[in-house]
Amino acid sequence: MHISEGVLSAPVLASGAALAVAGTAVGLKKLDYDKIAHVGMLSAAFFVAALIHVPIGPASVHLVFNGLVGTLLGWAAFPAILVALILQAMLFQFGGITTLGVNTIIMALPAVLGYYLFGRLIAIWPGKTTIAGFFCGFTAVFLSALTLGTTLVLTGESFSAIAKLVVLANLPVMVIEGIVTAFCIGFLNKVRPEMLPFAKKLSQGDPT
């Protein structure tokens, strides 16, 4: 779900870059440096997920894992995803350098939203973590596809048809992402529950 070079207008590229810088700054500020290894592993998982992709016009569809990354990292998903996107652009020409900011927003912003929408639900509803995990994975990809489509439309009305196609083409990916995320969250809930969002605060009796 990358946007290629030479597609977006300068204002859209500039706005995406500014938002990506802001999000990454917040992510680095909130990053727990004791969990650098976790961030690196999830960044690698995000990187590998995009190696099998199907081009659709100026974009592409593939497994994303941004719901899982966002659920486990929160705002730290921004730097984790940014690093993976840089490597994808430099090593495999997925996306591009000028579109790096926009692509980061497309992937990372829904990841953070998933953290806040479903993270607490996963933490306080341990018997239904797989259900919450499914909707987190599904919703993150849906929001990414919607953001990508909106970005294309903001560049020009001529991209409207492609924007709709991108959202529709990602429907199977949304379901698959939901299933994979549900499995991963359910597994972590059994073997490493401390990795789940808000687990530390809730164990200390902090409801916020």
Domain spans, the chain = 10-203
- Assign 104 a pLDDT band (cuts: 50, 70, 90): very high
Whole-structure pTM value: 0.84
pLDDT above 70: percentage of residues in the chain:
87
Q: How far is residue 70's CA from residue 108's CA, in Å, rounded to a whole number?
A: 7
pLDDT-derived band at 199, boundaries 50, 70, 90: low
What is the pLDDT at residue 128? Answer: 76
Average of per-residue pLDDT across 61-85:
89
Architecture field, domain 10-203: Orthogonal Bundle (1.10)
Backbone φ and ψ for 159, nearest 5 degrees, come out as -90, 5
Residue 95, pLDDT score: 75
Residue 193 has pLDDT above 80, yes or no: no
